[in-house]
Amino acid sequence: MSEKKIKLLIMMEMSWQMWKEEKDSLSSEDLLAFISVIFSAKGQCINNNDLKRVLMDSSCFKIDKEGNIFFIEKSFMEFFLAKRLYHNFRKMKLKAIHRLLNTRLYTREIIYFLSVMDLQTNIINIPLITILQGNYFEKISENALNIYSESSKIKKSLKDSHTEKKDESQKNSNITNLITQHFDFSLKFKDNTINTTNKTINVSQIDNKAQAEEFFQKGVKLLKENKFFESLEPLFAAKALDPECFKAANNLAVVFKNLGSLSIAKKIAQNVLLENPENNRAKEHLKYLEYEEKKFNTKQLEDLR
């Protein structure tokens, strides 16, 4: 038996014993005895020193001087208890399931982990319905109803959330594709001209800075009105007319952030800092955008967990 399987057995047994006995810790000797029984049933021997080393090497729990084992966080206990439940549901062993349900009501956190594990397989409902349709046993029946009800809600919420994220991702992708087809992100325009919806302006024939300021003010006005797409053209025009109009580029970063394109917003802020390394507004934007990106990635990981 591999160390990985030994650790999993320990985690599942430890979480179950702690839940059943309502304890925060367990004696390492009790766990050693449990694992020894498992090995003996398989006709194998177990070296207690090796097993103690496995316990000490695990990052999920710690052992105090008295030999008591604690999970580092409560969520570890909840996860491995859910794993034990799922393991027995998957094997469809009703006796084992009855034994696991013959306890106090499982918390929503435990049921959440169980629901995530069962999201694709959807195997827990059959034994739960079988129990609910049979004779009533106080703890077993109540736990079965609790898990069936809560897991149904959690699974629906997870699926709805996944659909919304998929739709939002597609929407952002469409926005990005639309924008990249029409704008040059180097903030430079071809042939020294700017194509607006009304006319083509030759940069060399106008007072660049004055015209840039007009375009900038128009862009900011549209941005304040939450007309993000409409604000893009004048803000790009302002930066093209006056390469030193960094305030136009900074506002473009704000526009793209509001359109849900964090990567494009970051790229614009980075371009500003390449041209003007001391631009404090661009530094603030970049810091904020990196924070938002990190928060989004963290949430994705939590959702996967």
How high is the pLDDT of residue 197?
Answer: 46
Share of the chain above pLDDT 70, in %: 73
pTM: 0.52
Give the three-class secondary structure for 233.
helix
Give the three-class secondary structure for 202.
strand
How high is the pLDDT of residue 73?
Answer: 80
CA atoms of 15 and 19, how far apart (whole Å): 6
What contacts 221, CB < 8 A, 6 or more positions away? none
pLDDT at 193 over 80: no
pLDDT at 32 over 70: yes
pLDDT at 205 over 50: no
The residue with greater pLDDT, 260 or 281, is 281
Task: Render pLDDT for 239-261 as a digit per residue (tens, 0 to 9).
Answer: 877 888 889 989 988 888 888 77
The mean pLDDT value for 34-48 works out to 67
Task: Render pLDDT for 80-128 as a digit per residue (tens, 0 to 9).
Answer: 999 999 999 988 888 899 999 999 999 999 999 999 999 888 899 999 9
